[in-house]
Structure 1
Amino acid sequence: MHFDLYTLGVIGAAIGIAISMSFTLLGLVLRGLPALRIWASAFWVVTAAAFAQGLDENGSLLSTVAGGGLIALANALMLMGIAIHLHYPLRWRWPLAVVGLFAANQLHAYLVPPSQTVSALMFGAYSVVWDVWMVWVLLWRAPRDMRNTCSFTALIFIVDAVFYLLRSVVVLFPQTFAHTPLDELLTTWNYLFGILSSFLLSTGFTLMLAERLTLDLRRLARTDGLTGLLNRSALIEAGTRLVDACRARGQACSVLMFDLDHFKSINDSWGHAAGDAVLGHFVGVIRGVGLVRDALFARYGGEEFVLVLPAVEPVQVGALAERMRAAVAAKPAVFDGRTINITTSIGGAAATDANFERLVSAADVALYRAKHLGRDQVAWSPGVERPG
């Protein structure tokens, strides 16, 4: 069955409209995914390009400049959507500069028509540049937990680049490849390949969105919504693994448990919004003192926090606890233009042979001893190793 360019353009436009509508409707539901809106715009632009090129086969201003420029713009939107989705800091000006360069080249081609060979080579070169750029971002800038879907999407761009490279080879060596099966295949699939690529890309982007949502949900299930720290269940899971690893290596592992002194009176006197601000301020102060690598800092519940310090000498942990206590006392929280003085009591425990549950229990006992002794101080559990 033979399809002329007009028919293929209509088919491509119909599929493009369906894909664009799907992404647009998804964007109305999933409002927290900015990449989704950008990809929806990209597919709308691809659809407009299909109309511009499919409705005019004569190389006019519409098909040459507008159609080609729209394709370049769609590539730029796809690239920026990928970068934003992966949190890669790519500035808009670089893709848009390439779009401008391509549009200027297309305008020159319209005013001074090059040979068919040169025109095909230029379009193929621009296509390969976009493909390689997107593959690089997908494979080398993707987080480890998103590699699977990014690799699938990158494969689509790799196939697209190979397709245009093969076309360029056929154009460069017409005597060798003219009327060969490769030449006929590339000619027959020239426009159909573009339609298939759009469909596969929509699938790849959808899988990337689904994976992002899944990871975000898992992260939310492990994170305290107010402070952004690990929550209690995530702390127990990660802390158990960390302490067991230290015990297997014969290294000391320490646990510090913090309690904000008189926190209930802050809520009663200032309101719960102030209490939330104080909790956030406290987390910032502790982080500002400096946490060692691989440390676990989590909200244990209410105004209680836990810090797990693996492979750190107890003497160093004792000094760190004192610095943290002093830093909290020296830096009042600010709420609604007024300062709120806060202090913290700290209970500590350190051991080389205790499990996570025992360390936390020992630190909890030490914490209550610090509060009983007058608060705003550090106490250590007598049942395990004590620094100094």
Structure 2
Amino acid sequence: MESIYPRRVPIVGNLTGTGWTVASQESILSLIVVLGSSVSLVGLIFAFITYSLFSDLRTMSGTALMYLLANMFLTQLFYVVGVGGVQEDSLCLCLAFGIHYLRLAVISWLCVMTYDMLITFRNNVNLNPRPEPVNVLVSRFVKYSLFAWGMPSLSVISASVMRAMTSRQIIDNLNPYNCWFFETDIYNVTFVGPALCCFAAIAVSLFRSWLTVRATVGMQVDKKSRLKMHRKRTLQLHLYGKIAVLMFAVNVFGCVARNGSPASDPVAWIAYNVGHSLQGILVALAVTCNCQVLKIYTRSFSRRRRRVSRNGSEVALFDKRDNDISDTTYLHNLTWDPVPLPV
């Protein structure tokens, strides 16, 4: 890989007694980014497939989460390409624009998810939510998409215009930053500003959702329903809160690293690379390894157990709760066997 991490840090002890062996920061960070991003890419693919397979997860917030996972996957992939060192300045600039757009899109979809959670909690004060009309859902999703895709597009257009108006003599080299982070002024105006606005909206939505949960849970008469509603809605609230805190911390380290210098102060730069490489797997574990998703897993597997008959053909086995005639389309369940006694 190219020498994009100029400083050196002591890593392991020298067994010959001459002191500490010094390894290049470039090789250490490159290894962390590549290995962490590889694990994150696998985890994001698994999470996306999980939300694609189960229809119970394809709600409005689940669909927005799928877009967030897809954008985060592309962000991790583009960043790994930049870590290897890009010789062509035009290709490095294209990667910078792509990462700029994708990172803002991830934050925008998280903002959409938290706002939709607030709307859902407000419109459904009972444990079992009422189904909404299709036209209402479509209209809401179109508005969400316009915001989540349109805001990053405007930011990228603004960044390109500002970069074109900047004198060529003062344009920074993007290779030391893994083909990411435009010039400081462009980065602060077109990325930090919109990102802070989105994180402020996310914080407001999370706080208002918490207040709504307290109000709606207190309205339940039955204690069992009250505890169940509190558990389900608090689980979703904590999930979005953990994702928001993780993404905010990673972007704060990136902002500090860009406004400083990796050569003069590598702490924020190291923290950003470690957090950026591991955020994918952490988000994937958070959205797939919670009790709600695991319950859907076990319920789906128990309903689709199969046995192999003597001739090799597969016959579906149903649980006792699935033996109702209205829950199956098998023709042999629509007949009386044995034949009932005549009246």
- Scaled by the length of structure 2, the TM-score of the pair is 0.49
- Scaled by the length of structure 1, the TM-score of the pair is 0.44
